[in-house]
Chains A and B, each alone.
Chain A
Amino acid sequence: SRGAEGAAAPPVFTWLSDGTKDSESFTAAARDQFQEELVIRPLHSGDIYASFQFRTLWDTDFLQERQKVSHYRLFPKSLGQVLSKFSVRELHISFTQGFWRTMQWGQPFIPSPPGAELWVWFHDTVSDVDGNWKELTNVLSGIFCASLNFIDLTNTVQPSASFKPLGLGNATDHRFLRYATLPREIVCTENLTPWKKLLPCGSKAGLSVLLKSEKLFHSSFHSQAVHIRPVCQDEQCTSKAWELRQTLNVVFDLYTSGQGKKEWSLFKMFSRTLTEACPLATSSKVYVDITDNPEVKLKQQTVVLGDRRTYSVFDLTRAEMFGQLRSLNLLLRDMLRPLLHAERYVAGFGLQTGEIHTVIYNNHPYRAFPVLLMDSVPWYLQLYIHTLTVTSKSRDNKPSYIHYQPAKDRHRPHLLEMLIQLPPHSMTEVTVQFERALLKWTEYTPDPNHGFYVGSSVVSALVPSMVAMNTNFTQDQPLFSSFVPVKEESSYFVRVYTEPLLVNLPTPDFSMPYNVICLTCTVVAVGYGSFYNLLTRTFQVDEPSLPLAKRLANLIRRIRGVPLLA
Chain B
Amino acid sequence: MGLLSDPNRRKALTNLLTRLNAPICMVCYLAAIVWFMGLAFEPFTLRTYMSENAMGSTMVEERFSSGERALSLAKEFDAHKRKAGGMPVEWLVKAMQARGLEVFTQSFSRKLPFPDENKERYMVRGTNVYGILRAPRAPRTEALVITAPCSPGNSDNQAVGLLLALAQYFRNQIFWAKDIIFLVNEHDLIGMQAWLEGYHHTNITGMEYSPLQGRAGSIQAALSLELSSDVITSLDLILEGLNGQLPNLDLANLFYAFCQKLGVLCTIQGKLQRNDWDTAEGYTHAAQTMMLMVLKQACGRSWGDHGLFLRYHIEAASIRGINGFRHYKMDVATIGRLLEGMVRKLNNLLERLHQSYFFYLLPSLSRFVSIGYYMPAFGLLAVILLLRALDLWVNLGAPALEAVDGVTEAEQPSGPGVLTVLTPVVISHLTGVALYLLPVHLQEMAVEHFPVSETEAVVLTAVAIYTAGLALPHNTQRLLSGEGTEQGWKVLKLTALLYLAVLLGCTALINFSLGFVLAVTLVPITASMTPHMPKALSALAMVLLSPAFTILYCVFIYQELIEAPVSVGEGWMLFLSVISQGILDHALYGSLVYPLLALFIYPCWLMFWNILFWS
Contact = CB atoms under 8 A, between A and B. Distances in A.
Interface of A: 97-99, 101, 104, 114-115, 183, 217-222, 253, 255-256, 343, 345-351, 355, 357, 447-451, 453, 499-504, 509, 511, 526, 529-530, 533-534, 537, 539, 542
B218 interface: yes
A114 B8 CA distance: 72
Contacts of A114: 139-140
A533 B1 CA distance: 8
Interface stretch (B80-88, B150-158, B351-359, B446-454): B351-359
A447 B174 CA distance: 25
B138 interface: yes
29 contacts: A104-B102, A114-B140, A219-B137, A220-B134, A220-B136, A221-B136, A221-B137, A253-B136, A255-B100, A345-B217, A347-B200, A348-B200, A348-B202, A349-B200, A349-B312, A355-B201, A447-B351, A449-B354, A450-B351, A451-B352, A499-B140, A499-B141, A499-B217, A500-B139, A500-B141, A502-B141, A502-B218, A504-B313, A509-B354
Contacts of A451: 141, 218, 352
Contacts of B5: 530, 533-534, 537, 539
B141 A501 contact: yes
A255 B218 CA distance: 26
A511 B358 CA distance: 14
B2 interface: yes
A298 B1 CA distance: 95
Contacts of B100: 255
A502 B178 CA distance: 12
A99 B200 contact: no
A449 B349 CA distance: 11
A347 B215 contact: no
Instruction: Name the residue among B136, B139, B142, B350 with the largest chain A CB count within 10 angstroms.
Output: B139
Contacts of A218: 174
B271 interface: no
A99 B218 contact: no
B354 A347 contact: no
Contacts of B355: 511
Contacts of A347: 200-202
B441 interface: no
Given A502-B217, A530-B1, 4 more contacts: A219-B136, A348-B201, A350-B313, A501-B141
Given A348-B202, A357-B201, A502-B217, A222 B137 contact: yes
A256 B202 contact: no
Contacts of B201: 345, 347-348, 355, 357
B57 interface: no
Instruction: Name the residue among B5, B140, B313 with the largest chain A CB count within 10 angstroms.
Output: B140
Nearest to B312: A349
Contacts of B134: 99, 101, 220
B171 interface: yes
A343 B215 CA distance: 9
A486 B165 CA distance: 48
Contact of B1 (A98, A350, A500, A529): A529
Given A98-B139, A253-B136, A501-B217, A349 B311 contact: yes
A218 B174 CA distance: 8
A359 to B, nearest CB: 9
A504 B352 contact: yes
B279 interface: no
A509 B248 CA distance: 14
Contacts of B142: 502
Given A450-B351, A530-B1, A533-B2, A256 B173 contact: yes
Nearest to A526: B1
Contacts of B215: 343, 345
A255 B172 contact: yes
Contacts of A504: 218, 313, 352
Contact of A217 (B137, B171, B354): B137
Contacts of A447: 350-351
Nearest to B352: A449
Contacts of B172: 255-256
A256 B174 contact: yes
A506 to B, nearest CB: 11
B207 to A, nearest CB: 15
A302 B254 CA distance: 55
A179 B338 CA distance: 46
B202 A542 contact: no
Contacts of B174: 218, 256
Nearest to B311: A349
A200 B210 CA distance: 54
A345 B201 CA distance: 9
Instruction: Name the residue among B173, B174, B311 with the largest chain A CB count within 10 angstroms.
Output: B174
Nearest to B199: A345
A369 B2 CA distance: 77
Contacts of B352: 449-451, 504
B137 A220 contact: yes
Counting from the closest, the 6 A-B pairs by CB-CB distance are A530-B1, A114-B139, A347-B201, A449-B351, A98-B137, A502-B141
B100 to A, nearest CB: 5
B217 A98 contact: no
A97 B218 contact: no
Contacts of A350: 313
A348 B313 CA distance: 11
Nearest to B171: A255
A102 to B, nearest CB: 12
Contacts of B2: 533
Contacts of B137: 97-98, 217, 219-222
B222 to A, nearest CB: 14
A504 B200 CA distance: 14
B218 A346 contact: yes
A337 B350 CA distance: 36
A502 B171 CA distance: 24
Instruction: Name the residue among B8, B354, B355 with the largest chain A CB count within 10 angstroms.
Output: B354
Contacts of A500: 139, 141
Interface string B141-172: 11000000000000000000000000000011
B103 to A, nearest CB: 12
Contacts of B217: 345, 499, 501-502
A513 to B, nearest CB: 15
Nearest to B217: A502
Given A346-B218, A355-B201, A501-B217, A99 B139 contact: yes
Contacts of B138: 98-99
A511 B202 CA distance: 32
Contacts of A99: 134, 138-140
B534 to A, nearest CB: 43
A115 B355 CA distance: 28
Interface in B202-217: 202, 215, 217
A215 B200 CA distance: 37
A450 B218 CA distance: 10
B1 to A, nearest CB: 3
Contacts of B351: 447-450
A542 to B, nearest CB: 7
Interface string B1-15: 110110010000000
Contacts of A97: 137
Nearest to A187: B137
B50 to A, nearest CB: 15
A394 to B, nearest CB: 12
B280 to A, nearest CB: 37
A112 to B, nearest CB: 11
A256 B171 contact: yes
Contact of A499 (B4, B139, B173, B311): B139
Contacts of A448: 351
A358 to B, nearest CB: 12
A496 to B, nearest CB: 14
Given A499-B217, A504-B218, A349 B202 contact: yes
Contacts of A537: 5
B196 to A, nearest CB: 9
A101 B215 CA distance: 12
